[in-house]
Chain A
Amino acid sequence: MQVTMTVNGTEYTREIEGRMLLVHFLRDVLALTGTHWGCDTSNCGVCVVWMDGEPVKSCTVLAAMAGGHEVRTVEGLANGAELDPIQEGFRQCHGLQCGFCTPGMLMTCRALLDKNPDPTEGEIREAISGQICRCTGYSSIIRSVRWAAVHEAAAVATEEAVQA
């Protein structure tokens, strides 16, 4: 069957099997290997991408289901060489060690900040509760998200001051 979807702003049309999972479509067909593939059972969360602005576990979504929808992956976070604040936060606060969970964590945490620009530690823990990190013990991930929240708020304040 044929599927057409938009991934990180670019429209792709490909011939696929109906049973192909979105994670394999992204990695094997589009060669966007930033999205990782982990437990295969929607438990670990390394495969989280956005579909129409909402985080989903792409190992449990058919590529065909994403047809006609907008997908955003970790490759779509940075603006050229400029990292998204959530990526910068992970870099500044050591939000990763091995990096395997990081793409999924970044996509979930970006979605959280878009909805809730000033999340508490509890809200961050709840948001990433469907994802597993075996390195950090989560504390540095939480610091990374807070770093991004604080710096985004500061950037908005500066912009408003300049405009005033």
Chain B
Amino acid sequence: MQVPAPFEYERATSVDQAIGLLERLGSSARLVAGGHSLLPMMKLRLANFEYLIDINDLHAELGYIRLSDDEVRIGAMTRHRELLESDVLAGVFPIFRDAEKVIADPIVRNRGTLGGSLCQADPSEDLSAVCTTLDASCVIRGPGGSERVVTMEEFHVGPYETAVADNEILTEVRIPRKTFRVGSAYAKVERRAGDWAVVSAGAAVWLDQGRIVDARVGLAAVGPNTTGIPEISAALRGHEPDESLFELAGAIAARSCEPVTDTRGSADYKRHLADELTRRTLRKAVERARS
């Protein structure tokens, strides 16, 4: 029987009360949202805490998808199922629905949250790749109502490590919107349905008069954290999208990533996937931007 080591259970009633608890308990405490990454890690003793602070009651405060002209704001407690089912979100950034369809399974998606996924900081995690692709920023709240906003690059400090301090909580993810036509897509190769990615890629393309004003690619499972590749953006900007451009981007992705050989595949195979999935998602993103 796998059960976490003993801990004290606390239940948060508001964001600020949760921060108060974190201030008091320090590094011996951890927030738990859906728990579908944290509890398995605690069962395996890969993580151990004296206190768990259950923030599921904060869904009313932190479960939302809000669209404005210049950004999309998503609350950290928004569950995978809500991200999958949101037509508003799929209308602006279909990459979310692409990714959610291949994250775990429908039952797990009933519990898992956006904030939990990002805070897990697993290098193979799909929503981290989506947020990297979309140049999202993360809102972190601390004691006394203080708030700071960090980029995805700053948010993920290393594998399983984030910029969120012991007395802070990730409250919101903000995704900028631009006034150009936009298309986005996500693709993942996995060994079986609902598994972690062997490799996955997200792409977003912004078009003006048929030319690329900006393009971003985010890769998962090929480095210490999900990676955005600035060289691809630079190579694509100003051009009219075509197949040769996608091939160039794929080649850059393959040589820019740092995959390691493991049970999911060899480093060479993962480079091949990074190339192929970059091409596929860019192709799809452009197709969506044009339609």
A interface residues, Cβ below 8 angstroms from B: 1, 17-21, 24, 40-42, 45, 48, 54-57, 60-62, 64-65, 67, 108, 126-127, 129-131
The answer on a CB contact under 8 Å between B39 and A129 is no
Q: Is B24 in the interface zone, CB < 8 Å from A?
A: no
B8→A130 contact, CB < 8 A: no
Let me know if B3 and A42 touch, CB within 8 A. no
Q: Which residues does B use to contact A, with CB under 8 Å?
A: 1-9, 11, 32, 35-36, 39-40, 43, 52, 54, 56, 104-108, 110-111, 193-194
Given A24-B1, A41-B40, A60-B108, 11 additional A-B pairs, CB 8 A: A19-B5, A19-B9, A41-B2, A41-B43, A42-B108, A45-B105, A55-B107, A57-B36, A61-B35, A62-B52, A129-B105
How many Å lie between the Cα of A40 and that of B179 in the bound state? Answer: 47
* B52 in complex: contacting residue of A18, A41, A45, A57, CB < 8 Å: A18
Q: A1-B9, A18-B7, A130-B194 are in contact. Are A62 and B107 (CB under 8 A)?
A: no
- Cα–Cα distance between A54 and B34 once the two chains are bound (Å): 13
Give 14 pairs: A residue, B residue, CB < 8 Å, sorted on A.
A18-B7, A19-B7, A20-B3, A21-B3, A40-B1, A42-B104, A54-B110, A57-B36, A57-B111, A60-B36, A60-B111, A62-B39, A64-B11, A130-B105
Determine how close the nearest CB of chain B comes to the CB of A122; give it in whole angstroms. 12
Identify which of A45, A65, A126, A129 gathers the most chain B CB atoms within 10 Å of its CB: A65
The interface residues of chain A lying within 8 Å CB-to-CB of B40 are 41-42, 60
Residues of A within 8 A of B35 (CB): 60-62, 65
CB within 8 A of B111: which of A1, A61, A129? A61
- Residue of B8, B56, B107 ringed by the most chain A CB atoms within 10 A: B107
* Residue in B3, B36, B108 whose beta carbon sits within 8 Å of that of A19 in the complex: B3
Contact B2 A19 (CB under 8 A): no
A129 adjacent to B7 (CB under 8 Å): no
A64:B54 contact, CB within 8 angstroms: yes
A-B contact count (CB 8 A): 81
**Please, how many angstroms separate the alpha-carbon atoms of A151 and B43 in the complex?**
43
Which residues on B sit within 8 Å (CB–CB) of A131? 105, 107
CA distance A155 to B9 in the complex (A): 46
Q: State whether A55 touches B39 (Cβ < 8 A).
A: no
Interface centre among A42, A61, A64, A108 (most CB of B within 10 A): A42
Taking a contact as CB atoms under 8 Å apart, the answer to whether B7 and A56 are in contact is: no
Tell me, rounded to whole Å, the shortest Cβ–Cβ distance linking A44 to chain B: 11
CA distance A101 to B109 in the complex (A): 20
Taking CB atoms, residues of chain A closer than 8 Å to B107 are: 45, 48, 55-57, 108, 130-131
Q: Is the CB of B110 within 8 A of A65?
A: no
Closest B residue by C-beta to A17: B6
Closest to A126 in B: B106
Q: Could you tell me the distance between the alpha carbons of A61 and B112 in the complex, rounded to whole angstroms?
A: 11
What is the distance, in angstroms, from B127's C-beta to the closest C-beta of chain A? 17
- Rounded to whole angstroms, the CA-CA distance of A21 and B1 in the bound complex is 11
Q: How far is the CA of A130 from the CA of B112 in the complex (A)?
A: 14
Q: Assess whether A62 is in contact with B1, with CB atoms less than 8 Å apart.
A: no
Bound Cα distance from A36 to B88, whole angstroms: 38
The 6 closest A-B CB pairs, nearest first, are: A130-B105, A18-B9, A40-B2, A64-B9, A130-B107, A19-B4
Chain B residues, Cβ within 8 Å of A17 = 6
B110 in contact with A55 (CB, 8 Å) = yes
Name the B residues within 8 Å of A67 (CB-CB): 11
